[in-house]
Amino acid sequence: MTQHAKMGPYPFILILLETLTMKNGTLAICLLTVSLSAWSNELYTPQPVLQGNHKIIVELRFDSPESGDMYLATIINGKLSFLTENAQGIALTETPIPFRANKTFEGEYTLFSIDGKGLAPGNYPLYQIVTQVNTDDPLNDKNWIGGRNGLNFLSFSVGLPQKVRVLAFSNLGLHCMDGDFSVFAILPPSNAVHAQVVGQESDGEPELLDADEVEVRYSAVTDRNGSINSSSLAKTDFWQYAEGLFGVKLPPGESLTGLYMPADHPDQPGEQPLHYNSQQDWFSAKGIPIVPTDDMGQVNPYSTLRISAYDKKTGEHLGATDVVVPVSTEVSCDTCHASGKMAANNADVTWASDADLEVQTKRNILILHDNQHETQLQNNTPVLCAGCHYSPALDLEKKGPQGEQLGKSSLSQVMHLFHGELRDATGNPVIPSGNTVEVEKSCYNCHPGNTTQCQRGAMKSAGLTCTACHGGLLAVGGKFPLQKGGSLDGSHDSKPRRAWVDLPRCQSCHIGDALDHLKGEGLVFHEDSIRLVQAYRTGDDSASPLLAENKRFAENENTLFRNSHGHKDIACEGCHGSTHAIWPNADTSANDNLTALQLQGHTGTIIECDTCHAPGSLEMTLKGPHGLHNINDSRWTEQHYYFYKTEIDSCQACHGKQLEGTPLSKMAATRTFKVEGKTVILKKGQQVSCDLCHEKPFH
């Protein structure tokens, strides 16, 4: 089974055929709208979240006719099953049988409407394709109308409590850990999840709930690929070597911060608590020891946990959301350090011969370190790299460098700067970096990676590479002093970059709006001329992050995105997703998209006002997040002209000076409007201009 990180919709079908024995999950169920592509047909549902006796309604829209056999498939108890129709309704079979055979499909209609009451809690996918008539191999995409683009997808989640909304997010978008701890360790199994719980006052206005009102817990849930990750025991040798590495004897399953995976707590297995952080107004579980292996032994860097809120007084389950808790061991040191490779081929040195490639590679790294720096690391395993080279990721008490770390470069500096300065016999960098270098040949030499694809969100979809935000290896390693404004708080301007602190900002590329944005030399603009595709000026070797003058999309002052708050003190990551995995993921079947789907019924930034506000309770306004107006509200459709008369600049800021539409006015979901006696359908991703519905209101 391939890693789920690479799992798109097509490989998933094949993987299901190989892995048909997975356990049932205990996940809630909701039917969520999503289409995998811009192909001519689309699965959707008018009822995105199911409760009680709600009907499961699946509808299909064809923009152009398609002829052939239609197949519908789902996964039940880990088995791929095909839906068929009979006199009694919908039936399931493991044999590939068309749902409807030899027909021409066109227009818009309901595929089926069934009672969802009998469905057990869990995540259920629904896949739809149209194939050539009477094909012998309906799972082969060569027989699909439209090829892989012809595959459509819905996700079912039934019984999800929604008396409150739980905005949950991983802090970084990906955590790394060592796959073996016997030789040396860079990072232990440790992940951080934050969550805010949004309730409603009597007038429908949202309010953030704190530890006096709710308890928040995390539990294991089956994802939409049939994978569940409830335990880390027997999946890693971390606890065998933890005392030698960190100087503390940990009970099996316990992380360095005292947390457990849900099934591993020796006294209270099951749901585990998040603790309230009053400074950030969120609940946190910092140090969850999750590993990238699920309970079936399959690799899954993107396992999900359920974050649930309970009434503090009554214990009632008020709400829940599923969130990816990402982790990977894909650190490819063996590319250079395996015996015989460029960093382990000196004939005068005895290199490791261990059969385990990771162990062999790690031993070679210690051999090289001992030879170059006259250390004795080989004789003192296991070695904690951060024991000598300070790592903010392991500085849980934020004390800064201590003991052996004093006077030495940080772990980030020695890794990035040392490798960035390496040259081959011709004088070229051993590891090339820069915006023109494929990430697979640069950052993914060490970071997860070619399989994991840790950069997987909206930035990747826009074509940005790691270096577009962070700069090259030498910049990340702090070789060049930061320019004015380059350090997070200004205290390290003209000094080397601080690892984990002086990082790119949202405002470095999101530099304003259609009327007012950053200008000047060295800026690399997106084709829309509003946003940048490089977070620093061309020619700036330090890659110092830019600061926008128009702060519409800026973080809090002197604060990174992952710690910033916006509209009504909601965490930025609560609406936008995690760093490196900003919503949406282009693969709409990816686990990363599940949180947004459960909260608002479609992928992407949380933009629906009704996610937190009671329907109809919000007055007409231009004071939403980043100056946003009411979304999906018929009153706005009818009344927005009056705002235009008094707030022209506010309209033009996102819709363009000529109201021609810009990327800031893109539709978040396909919607149907009734305007001046006619029906107008605007599709997801379409830039909204006035003349799509009526004449422009120019004098």
Q: What is the percent of the chain with per-residue pLDDT over 70, rounded to a whole number?
A: 92
Predicted pLDDT of residue 626: 97
Tokens of 536: 């620093």
Q: Tell how many helices (H) and how many strands (E) occur in the chain.
A: 12, 22
Nearest CA-CA partner of 417 in 459, 461, 473, 366? 473
Indicate the domain borders of the chain. Answer: 4-157, 165-328, 332-380, 619-692
pLDDT, mean over the chain:
90
pLDDT tens per residue across span 272-329 = 999 999 999 999 999 999 999 999 999 999 999 999 999 999 999 999 999 999 999 9
- Around 225, how many Cα atoms within 13 Å sit in the side-chain half-sphere? 37
Rounded Cα gap, residues 492 and 39, in angstroms: 50
In DSSP terms, which residues pair with 328 in a beta bridge? 176
Go through the chain and tell me how many residues it has: 699
Q: Is the pLDDT of residue 19 over 80?
A: no
**The pLDDT of residue 546 is above 60:** yes
N- to C-terminal Cα distance for the chain? Answer: 63
pLDDT-derived band of residue 42, with 50, 70 and 90 as boundaries?
confident
Q: Which two structure tokens, joined as six digits, stand for 597?
A: 């789907």
When pLDDT is cut at 50, 70 and 90, the band that residue 43 belongs to is confident
The burial of 268, by beta-carbon neighbours within 10 Å (0-12 exposed, 13-18 middle, 19 or more buried), is given as exposed
State both tokens at 209.
């709930």
In the structure, what pLDDT confidence band is assigned to residue 428 with cuts at 50, 70 and 90? very high
| Residue 122: per-residue pLDDT | 62
Q: Is pLDDT of 425 > 80?
A: yes
| Phi, psi for 511 (deg, rounded to 5) | -95, 10
Q: How many CB atoms sit inside 10 A of residue 148's CB?
A: 16
Given this model, what pLDDT does residue 26 score? 27
**Does the pLDDT value for residue 639 go beyond 80?**
yes
Residue type, 623: K
Token pair, residue 194, equals 């934050």
Q: What is the pLDDT of residues 236-252, one digit of tens each?
A: 999 999 999 999 999 99
Q: Which helix (H) or strand (E) holds 241?
A: helix 238-246
Alpha-carbon gap, residue 45 to 43, rounded angstroms: 7
Q: Quick one: average pLDDT of 489-513? A: 97
Exposure on the CB side of residue 542, measured as CA atoms within 13 A: 21
The pLDDT, as a whole number, for residue 121 is 61
3-state secondary structure of 666: strand
**Range from 26-40, 97-111, 588-602, 653-667 carrying the lowest mean pLDDT:** 26-40
CA distance 509 to 434: 17
**Model confidence over 169-194: pLDDT tens digits?**
999 989 999 999 999 999 999 999 99
pLDDT band at residue 53, thresholds of 50, 70 and 90? low
Lookup: tokens for 3:
């890693």
Does pLDDT of 213 surpass 80?
A: yes
- Residue pair 227/327 in contact by the 8 Å Cβ criterion: no
The secondary structure of residue 132, as a DSSP letter, is -
Side chain identity, residue 588: T
Locate the DSSP E strands across 116-164: 123-131, 152-157
Please say if the pLDDT value at position 544 is more than 50.
yes
Does position 16 have pLDDT exceeding 50, yes or no? no
* Structure confidence at residue 50 (pLDDT): 65
Angle at 288 between CA 595 and CA 611, to 5 degrees: 20
Instruction: Return the DSSP state at 220.
Output: E
